[in-house]
């Protein structure tokens, strides 16, 4: 499946007292990467919600490799690693302007229907997610 890129510029508020990006921000950046990935597939979260589907995080994994600092440009690469009928797993890599891997991780999402119970994702949503282009 295709990989998309989203650029983030580190904001001062995302750093800690040592001037290093606080670890919690990477999940926020990964969420931005995921949202942009869906947009580049021709979808967005509101499309799912308007159709009565909710894509909720059930697991998040993260490995930190190197620090990021204020004003760094970070490229978040996002790929759908696994797409099942009721689950989606996204993989992420955060890379700085010198091509240093800062962090990598994944999030696993469960598809819920309007009744908040696990349900199959309709084909009209699956097809754009599996397209290579």
pLDDT digits (tens, 9 = 90+) for 18-41: 999 999 999 999 999 999 999 999
**Each residue of 59-86: b (16+ CB within 10 Å) or e?**
eeebeeeebbeeebebbbbbbbeeeeee
Q: State whether the Cα torsion 35-36-41-44 is positive or negative.
A: positive
CATH of span 3-121: 3.10.129.10
Asked if residue 131 has pLDDT above 80, the reply is no
What does the mean pLDDT of the chain come to? 94
Marked catalytic residue, from 16, 59, 72, 99: 16
99 is a catalytic site residue: no
The model's confidence at residue 133, banded by pLDDT at 50, 70 and 90, is low
Q: Percent of the chain at pLDDT above 90? A: 83
Q: pTM (2 decimals)?
A: 0.92
């Amino acid at each position: 499946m295709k990989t998309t890129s989203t650029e983030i510029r580190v904001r001062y508020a995302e750093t800690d007292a040592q001037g290093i990006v606080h670890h919690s921000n990477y999940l926020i950046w990964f969420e931005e990467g995921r949202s942009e990935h869906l947009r580049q597939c021709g979808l967005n979260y509101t499309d799912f919600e308007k159709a009565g589907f909710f894509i909720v995080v059930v697991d998040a994994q993260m490995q930190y490799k190197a620090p990021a600092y204020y004003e760094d440009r970070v490229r978040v690469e996002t790929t759908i690693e696994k797409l099942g009928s009721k689950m989606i797993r996204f993989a992420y890599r955060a890379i700085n302007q010198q091509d240093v891997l800062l962090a990598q991780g994944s999030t696993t999402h469960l598809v819920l229907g309007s009744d908040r119970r696990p349900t199959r994702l309709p084909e009209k949503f699956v097809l754009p997610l599996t397209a290579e282009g």
